[in-house]
């Protein structure tokens, strides 16, 4: 049998009262690919990604992860995916190492894996620090560390670097690029930053107002355009970060 795609969405719709957040999205992401969903505030990125994560249910349409639906395979899928929500709340009075061990225990992992992850996300020096005292970038690296504990086949990150300074952003990119070299995981991230999509991802999906405007490899998308920002203005008449 042919290998199923990592993520597949067909004609997915989702509304909240008066807002149509996602309006008929189709997408297919192959295993091992790094894909960015690029779009401004309110584009529907979080709603779409949370449906892929099984946190929200589509009003209509179908989502499959590794060929499976959330309805019938939620326990298996939870073992296969790692996720990082747009805003992670930690337990302030736990230390970094305690937080990682606690989450590791949910997966029945040994402390060896916790040590690997603490090294991977560069938090060894902060292992005894209380989470409440971490900087924004360190908190985000911890959140990514938690999402990597179970060696997920699919990693879903919702705006992993929003609000971070350029240095902290590059540290996160380095972690993800290392993951790309060392594993065959699939990554889907959302972002407002053109540069992030360009630095990390082979394939970019441009989303606005609940629909996919355009998608492709960077080269396919750019064509004659100088930057993805120029392309976005062409598609919508606005800057991405307006």
Ligand X SMILES: Nc1ncnc2c1ncn2[C@@H]1O[C@H](COP(=O)(O)OP(=O)(O)OP(=O)(O)O)[C@@H](O)[C@H]1O
**Pick from 9, 44, 65, 156: which binds ligand X (CB under 6 A)?**
44
Asked if residue 45 binds ligand X (CB under 6 A), the reply is yes
What is d(CA 123, CA 121) in angstroms, rounded to the nearest whole number? 6
What is d(CA 131, CA 142) in angstroms, rounded to the nearest whole number? 9
Closest contact distance (angstroms) between CB of 62 and Mg ion is 22
Asked if residue 16 binds ligand X (CB under 6 A), the reply is yes
The interface with ligand X within residues 149-188 (CB under 6 A) comprises: none
Stretch that binds ligand X, among 45-53, 76-84, 96-104, 197-205 (CB under 6 A): 45-53
Nearer to ligand X, 30 or 59 (CB): 59
Closest contact distance (angstroms) between CB of 12 and ligand X is 12
Query: Residue 104: which of ligand X, Mg ion, none does it interact with, CB under 5 to 8 A by kind?
Result: none
What is d(CA 61, CA 197) in angstroms, rounded to the nearest whole number? 27
Would you give the DSSP letter of residue 95? B
The interface with ligand X within residues 68-107 (CB under 6 A) comprises: 86
Asked if residue 41 binds ligand X (CB under 6 A), the reply is yes
Nearer to ligand X, 23 or 151 (CB): 23
Q: Characterize the bridge pairing of strands 60-65 and 7-16.
A: antiparallel
Stretch that binds Mg ion, among 42-50, 69-77, 97-105, 120-128 (CB under 5 A): 42-50
Stretch that binds ligand X, among 5-13, 39-47, 142-150, 229-237 (CB under 6 A): 39-47
What is d(CA 50, CA 28) in angstroms, rounded to the nearest whole number? 16
In 3-state terms the chain splits into helix, strand, coil percentages (rounded to 5) of: 40, 25, 35
Query: Are 8 and 69 a contacting pair, CB within 8 Å?
Result: no
Asked if residue 19 binds ligand X (CB under 6 A), the reply is yes
Asked if residue 136 binds ligand X (CB under 6 A), the reply is no
Alpha helices in the chain (DSSP H): 45-52, 70-80, 96-106, 111-120, 136-148, 166-182, 194-200, 218-222, 228-236
Asked if residue 46 binds Mg ion (CB under 5 A), the reply is yes
Query: Are 36 and 201 a contacting pair, CB within 8 Å?
Result: yes
Which residues form the interface with Mg ion (CB under 5 A)? 45-46, 86
């Amino acid at each position: 049998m042919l290998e199923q795609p990592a993520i597949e969405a067909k004609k997915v719709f989702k509304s909240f009262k008066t807002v149509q957040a996602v309006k008929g999205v189709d997408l297919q992401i192959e295993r091992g690919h790094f894909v960015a969903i690029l779009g401004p505030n309110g584009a529907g990125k979080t709603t779409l990604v949370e449906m892929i994560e099984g946190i929200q249910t589509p009003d209509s349409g179908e989502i499959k992860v590794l060929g499976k639906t959330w309805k019938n395979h939620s326990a298996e899928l939870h073992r296969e995916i790692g996720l990082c929500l747009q805003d992670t709340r930690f337990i302030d009075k736990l230390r970094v190492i305690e937080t990682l061990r606690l989450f590791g225990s949910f997966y029945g992992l040994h402390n060896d894996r916790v040590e690997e992850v603490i090294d991977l996300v560069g938090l060894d020096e902060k292992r005894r620090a209380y989470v409440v005292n971490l900087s924004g970038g360190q908190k985000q690296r911890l959140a990514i560390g938690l999402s990597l504990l179970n060696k997920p086949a699919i990693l879903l990150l919702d705006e992993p670097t929003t609000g971070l300074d350029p240095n902290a952003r590059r540290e996160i990119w380095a972690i993800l690029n290392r993951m790309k070299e060392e594993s065959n995981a699939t990554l889907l991230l959302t972002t407002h930053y053109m540069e992030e999509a360009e630095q990390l991802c082979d394939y970019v999906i441009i989303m606005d107002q609940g629909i996919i405007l355009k998608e492709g490899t960077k080269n396919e998308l750019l064509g004659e355009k100088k930057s993805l920002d120029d392309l976005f203005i062409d598609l919508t008449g606005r800057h991405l970060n307006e």
